[in-house]
Amino acid sequence: MLKVGITGQAGFIGKHLYNTIGLFPEEFTRIEFEKEYFEDDNKLNTFVTECDVIVHLAAMNRHNNPQVIYDTNLGLVQKLVQSLKATNSKSHVLFSSSTQEERNNLYGKSKKEGRELMINWSDNSEGQFTGMIIPNVFGPFGHPNYNSVIATFCHKLSHNEKPIIDVDSDLKLIYVGELVNAIISEIRSKKGKHEIVVQRTSESKVSQILTLLEKYKSEYQDKGVIPAINNVFELNLFNTFRCYMDIKNHFPVKFVEHIDPRGSFVEVIRLGVGGQVSFSTTLPGITRGNHFHTRKIERFAVIKGQALIQLRQIGTDEVLEFYLDGNEPAYVDMPIWYTHNIKNIGNEVLYTNFWINEFYDPKDPDTYFIEV
């Protein structure tokens, strides 16, 4: 059992890494980290002592004064190195650097010099060091105007604002889930490497990304249509966009009922992708679900009966509750990294249609059970 600590645990990449490591409790134990530890030598030393592996992600990405970025990032590395030396740590330290190392800016300089400090520590200790040179990272829960242009675009579009392209550059990208998998792979290797260039998994011009996101806004957020998904990058981009929507106020979405003397007709879903459609009945008082997905797109549509659908983002305490009634058929879509359930709160059988964008594969279910 490896004891893993993550500086920057609450940040964009840190949160994803922390949550993903939590999916392997038989392999990893998570050592909690708080940013205040950098201001208290005793707490930082205790943290370092408890860790077999330390993933150093804590850093400043943006500030009006580039010198503040440089001083902050290098200062954090210096404090970590000081603690590693003080505790005679034999940890495997993984360091998140950037492709901006070779650019003439203070952020890139802070990353390069920080990595060199860590190499010097590992060369003169019994610890190991892995320096990872990482391209632009995007994914759910990144901060707009801070983590990436994709985060900014997603936030603006989903809140009915108009994004502006400053420079239509060509971006080399990696999805945060893919990066996390690469980090975990290096942890499992138990081997230090002074420099690993993490390869981008996609490449696109800023304008092409914006065009796709505008399509997701128009088709999905405004009309409820699941858009065509042509490759893994588009799936990751779509799932990223969905997480920036105001989920609490967007769902449930009521269906349009077409009523005539024969009864009613409801169109449940329009698809630009395939997938699997299921139908279920749920007895009064019974709850289904209490699981989450990291990549799947899923829709719950209540056709008859009364239901309570609950969602909670992994790593948070807020529970979102949606009440649906078959007298006004409606649906709720499940964002990735939100555990969810559906409960029959009525006195009659609940009728629900479920759609998910990929067939169930028992060898790769992407289904993790945890109570809402």
Q: DSSP code of 197?
A: E
Q: Domains in the chain, ordered, with CATH? A: 2-140+172-203 (3.40.50.720), 247-369 (2.60.120.10)
Place of tokens 């899923």: 298
Chain centroid offset of residue 372 CA: 18
2-57 pLDDT per residue, tens:
999 999 999 999 999 999 999 999 999 999 999 999 999 999 999 999 999 999 99
Given a contact cutoff of 8 angstroms between Cβ atoms, the answer to whether 328 and 305 are in contact is no
pLDDT, tens digit (0-9, with 9 covering 90-100), for 65-86: 999 999 999 999 999 999 999 9
β-pair type (202-205, 136-138): unpaired
Amino acid at 81: V
pLDDT recorded at residue 264: 78
Q: Give the pLDDT score at 104.
A: 79
Query: In this predicted structure, what is the pLDDT of residue 265?
Result: 84
Half-sphere exposure of 60 (CA within 13 A, CB side): 19
pLDDT score of 101: 86
Side-chain-facing half-sphere of 64: CA atoms under 13 Å: 0
This prediction's pTM = 0.94
Query: What pLDDT shows up at residue 341?
Result: 98
Q: Using DSSP, state whether 269 is helix, strand or coil.
A: coil
pLDDT for 15: 97
Sites in the chain below the pLDDT cut of 70: none
